[in-house]
Chain A
Amino acid sequence: MAFLTILAKDIRLELRTRESLAAMVVFSLTVVLLFAFAFDFAPDLRGTFTPGLMWLTYFFVAVLGLLRVFGQEKQLEAYDLLLTAPVDRSLIYLGKSTAFFLLLLVAQLLSLPVFVLFLELPLAAAPGYFILILLVTDLAIAAVGGLVAGLSLRAPAGDTLLPIILFPLLTPILIAATKATSAALAGQPFAEWDFWIMLIITFFALFVLAGIFTFDYIAEQ
């Protein structure tokens, strides 16, 4: 119940302002342009680089989204409203992480054409598997992201600390997502790369549990 209230609140805030989503999509486009100019790929190499570039871009986009979703709690001390309500801290973590998960997913779907058009991402090769990879990877990013953002929310240098803590923790996810995307879009059978999906799901399960148990200790000042 409280979980849904917090989730609905964040979705409504985002629909009201649309700041985060716009920023995240435009940022993707900007980064793709920069990538294209910085690396002069031969056409036959593009296929191998694109999944990695895409996921790297999405990692930066994720930080942008986290800063917005958790940053809005700081204005007018709105976070105190959540903290002083009779709501378990773990539900704040789950509610806000889920809101961020949805935001990231929508931002990605909106910016996908950029990768297809400019970097020749062969999306049509395996759209179903691609969506599966997108879903599990975003869940994993949100599980750690929500926890680290909740921690950096209260820190004076929080905005700088967020990517510094988040990215190294997410390295297994970047590897797994990139490898799985490459394999899926190259038309390899699922059985040959399903272990990457298992790895991401294991990561997600472990970090959600860690978040539920530790958010209590970082929510308060």
Chain B
Amino acid sequence: MTALITATGIGKSFNLRPVLREVSFSLDPGETVLLFGRNGCGKTTLLKIMAGIMRPERGQASLDSRELFTSDSHWRADMIYLGHRPSLYPAFSARENLRLSLRLRRVDWDEISFQTLLERHGLSGREDEPVGAYSEGMLQRLGLIRLELSRWKLALLDEPTSALDADGASLLGETLARWRTAGRAVLFTSHDMLWGAEHADRALHLQRGRIASELASPAAPDLLARLTGET
């Protein structure tokens, strides 16, 4: 199978202090991959670079054999990013925010799916409130609804469970499984290693600015051992 996304030699520094030195990896369609490593090792930086929010100093990447990091913006239609903070306008309601996001991505609005997803995430009846009044957990759920409504081949999720309760986390677990069968690839980070290991097909260990090792179908205890052994 040809890889969906390939990144080679990604390098990024802050004030000439390298955070990423030479990161190379690839994801196949339908793969769910966990990116892990210690705090400050550059997980968020890597996701932001792939999403086109940050500019790398070195390296290439291609999505579906289309070159990333160029001034051409079309490749972004196949990729979606959900950060720590959910990228929303606080003064807009949930509906307005999502409609805006979809219009920018040239996806038609689907009211029925929207209502179903609201129901599933327990946000029914609150879709016309400004999201500035939402709690962190509700914002994160709204971010996930945005992913569900959008069209994409690769999603980059930065700590998608950080503010979710147990119910929300298991809901996301089911969603990840559904995306896998639909052939959609996901690269995510998680502070909750057990949850992450449970839902990933593979894990990439980011250490000293490189992918230090790769674990195929990781078992949670293995991962934890690696992490504690790292220091």
Contacts and interface: CB of A to CB of B under 8 A. Distances in A.
Interface of A: 1-2, 5-6, 9, 12-13, 16-17, 72, 75-89, 216, 220-221
Interface string B122-133: 000000000100
Contact of B91 (A1, A13, A83): A13
Query: Interface majority SS on A: helix, strand, loop or mixed?
Result: helix
A78 B53 contact: no
Interface stretch (B21-29, B31-39, B68-76, B217-225): B68-76
Given A87-B73, A216-B71, A76 B54 contact: no
B149 interface: no
Interface of B: 48, 51-55, 71, 73-77, 79-81, 83-92, 96, 100-101, 103-106, 131, 139
Given A77-B85, A77-B87, A87 B104 contact: yes
21 contacts: A6-B104, A9-B100, A12-B92, A13-B89, A76-B90, A76-B139, A77-B86, A78-B87, A78-B89, A80-B53, A80-B83, A81-B104, A82-B104, A83-B52, A84-B51, A85-B104, A86-B74, A87-B104, A88-B73, A89-B71, A221-B55
Interface centre among B73, B75, B96 (most CB of A within 10 A): B73
A83 B53 contact: yes
B88 A78 contact: yes
A68 to B, nearest CB: 12
A80 B81 contact: yes
A221 B84 CA distance: 16
A9 B76 CA distance: 20
B71 A84 contact: no
Contacts of A12: 92, 96
Contact of B55 (A16, A17, A87, A220): A220
